[in-house]
Amino acid sequence: MTKPVKRYPTQSVDTTVVPVRKRGLEVIRDPLLNKGSGFPDNERAALGLRGLVPPQVVSIDDQVKRVMQNFLRQNSDIDRYIYLETLHDRNETLYYRLLLSHINELTPIIYTPVVGQACSQFGHIYQRARGMYFSSAEVNHFAEMVANWPEDMIEVVVVSDGSRILGLGDLGTNGMGIPIGKLALYVVGAGLHPQHTLPAMLDMGTNNAAFREDPLYLGRRIPRLTGDAYDEVVEAFMRAVHARWPHALIQFEDFSNDQAFPLLERYRHRMLCFNDDIQGTGAVTLAGILSALRVTGQPLTEQRIVFLGAGAAARGIADTIVAGMMGESGIGLEAARRQIWTIDSQGLVTLDRLDSLSEHKRPFAQDSAPLADLMDVIRAVHPTVLIGVCGQPGSFTEVAVREMHRYCERPTLFPLSNPTSKAECTAEQAYAWTDGAALFASGSPFPPVTRGGHLLVPGQCNNMYIFPGVGQGVVACQSSQVTDAMFYVAARTLAGLVGEDSLAVGRLYPDLTLIREISVKIAVAVCELAFAEGLAGIERPDDLDAFIRARMFEPRYVPYEAV
C-alpha cells in the first residue's frame, strides 16, 4: 500500500465535484476556475453567474475551435505568443486543452523558438503578473514573499536569473518567459497540475545596457551582481522556497556558465533540484545519439564526438554520453572522456591549456597538439558525431560538413543552439551537403525535406521529451535527490520509444503528440530507480504506471459546487 498523498480538490482525477467559495466575477476572473462560455446552467445559478456570461453553453471542444480560429488570424509569431498568454491568464483549463489538441503547432510558439523573441520584448508585451519575482533589493524579505503565494502545495519551481536566455545572452528579468514556458510544458507534457507549479525570477540586475535604459524594462536598473552578493541572493531564495515547500523540485533554467555549474553542485545534495540546461540537454541529446546508432548499427563506445562550444550544455551532454558509454560496456571514466573533443573560442580544449581553463572544461581536455578550429579538429579526429552548442549561426559550414562526410558514411549532426536564428546549420543544408546521409536533430524545429523523392524528417532535440517525465517521477515518489543516473535512464527510455518507421525517415525522436505517454514511461523509470536506490519518500505502489497516471492533470471542465 502507498502512503496517502495530499491532493488539491481541483485535481480532477480524484474528485467528481470541486468546491468553490468564490462567486460571480471572482470566478470568471480566476484562470483556474474560469470556464468562460462553458459554465452549465446549474453552476451559473449556484455561483452567481447569470447574466455575466453569454446564454449559450459552449463545450470545451467548441471553445478550442473558436480559440484556434482566432489564433490563426494573428499576423506574426509574437502576436500569436501574446494571444496564447492572454488565454493562459484567462482560462487555464482551455489553454491546456488547446495545447494538447495542437501540440506540434503551438509548442514552438509557447517555447522555442518564439519564446526567445517574447523574452527580448517582455517588458513591452507584459500584461499580467504570473509567478514571483525575487529582487536582490529585497533579499531580507524572501521568507515573507513566499508566504504571499497562496498555494500550500507547490511541486515544481522553475527559476532563472535571466543571465543566459537561450542563445540570446543576458536578458535580466525579461527572461521570465522561460520559467513560464517551461512550466506550461510540464503541464502539457507530464500532467503536473498548473496550480502546483511556480515560475520564479531572480532579479540580479542586468549587464544589458539597452534594457537598463528602457523605460519599460521591469527589473532593477543596475549592473548584474556577482560574487558573494550574488550567492547571498540565491541562498536566501533556496532557503525560503525549501522552507515553504520542502518537497518541491527546483529546476534551474538559463543560468550563465559561471553560475550554472557551481549552483548545481552546491545544492544538488541539499535539496531536490537539477539544471535542465546541463542534465536535461544531456539526456535528450544522448537519446538522439542512441537512436542514430540504431540506424548505423555501431556501439556508443566507438563514436568520436566533437563539440563546437564548451559551455554548460556541452558539459552536460558530454557527462551523460560518458555515463552511457560506461553503462553500455563497462569502459572506464577516463577512456570514455577521451572519445570526446571540445572546441571553445581558443580552439581545441587541450591539456597544455589546463591552467587557464574553466573548471567545467578540464575533464575533457585532450592530450593533443593545439588545433585552431573546427576544420582542423575534423581532419585530425574524423568525428562520427558533431554537436553544436556555440550559439554561432552557420558555424557548421558546407566545407566542414563535407569534410566530416568524407570520413563518416552516416554523420550525426546536432546543431542545438536556440532559437532558430542561432542554429549552426539548417536541416536542408545538412542533407544537401551529405547527399541525404546525415542523421540530423536540432534545438529548434525545421520542416521536413524531400530529397531525391525520399522524405527526410529532421528531429528536434527538445528537452521537453525529458524534463517533464523526470520531474513528474521525482515529485511523485518524493525522491530526496535528482541523480545523473535518472537522466541516463530517461535517455535510454526515450530512445527505446522511437519506432522503426520514424528511423526510416531519419526521425530520431518520437512524435511530440505522444509526449504524455513518453513522460509516463520516463516517470516510471525514474521512480523505479529512486526506489531501487533508497531515495524515494513513499512506499512503492503496486502499479507504478497507474500511480503516475492517477496524478496527471487532464484539462477538462469538472463540476463545481458552491460552498
Reply yes or no on whether 361 is catalytic: no
* Long-range contacts (CB closer than 8 Å, 24 or more residues apart) made by 58-65: 60/35, 60/93, 60/94, 60/97, 60/555, 60/556, 60/557, 63/36, 63/37, 63/38, 63/94, 63/97, 64/94, 64/97, 64/98, 64/101
pLDDT score, position 10? 37
Q: Which CATH number describes the domain made up of 109-271? A: 3.40.50.10380
The CB-side HSE value for 253 (13 A sphere, CA atoms) comes to: 27
What's at 327, amino acid-wise? G
Q: What is the residue whose three cell numbers read 519518500?
A: 537
Strand 347-348 with 273-275, pairing = unpaired
Cα–Cα distance measured from residue 546 to residue 334, given in angstroms and rounded to the nearest whole number: 41
Do 18-102+557-562 and 279-461 have matching folds?
no
Of 187, 97, 178, 66, the residue nearest 130 (C-alpha):
178
- How is residue 493 written as a grid cell? 527510455
Judge contact between 457 and 506, C-beta under 8 A. yes
Report phi then psi at 327, rounded to 5: -70, -30
Choice among 81, 95, 96, 111 that is catalytic: 111
Of 211, 210, 229, 232, the residue nearest 220 (C-alpha):
211
The structural architecture, per CATH, of the domain 279-461 is 3-Layer(aba) Sandwich (3.40)
Reply yes or no on whether 83 is catalytic: no
pLDDT score, position 329? 81
Choice among 35, 182, 361, 422 that is catalytic: 182
pLDDT score, position 532? 97
pLDDT score, position 346? 94
Taking 50 as the pLDDT cut, the residues of the chain under it are 1-14
**Distance from chain centroid for Cα 191:** 15
Judge contact between 146 and 244, C-beta under 8 A. yes
Residue range 18-102+557-562 forms a domain whose CATH class is mainly alpha
N residues, the chain = 563
What's at 185, amino acid-wise? L
pTM of the model: 0.93
The residues spanned by each domain of the chain are 18-102+557-562, 109-271, 279-461
Cα–Cα distance measured from residue 501 to residue 332, given in angstroms and rounded to the nearest whole number: 35
pLDDT score, position 11? 40
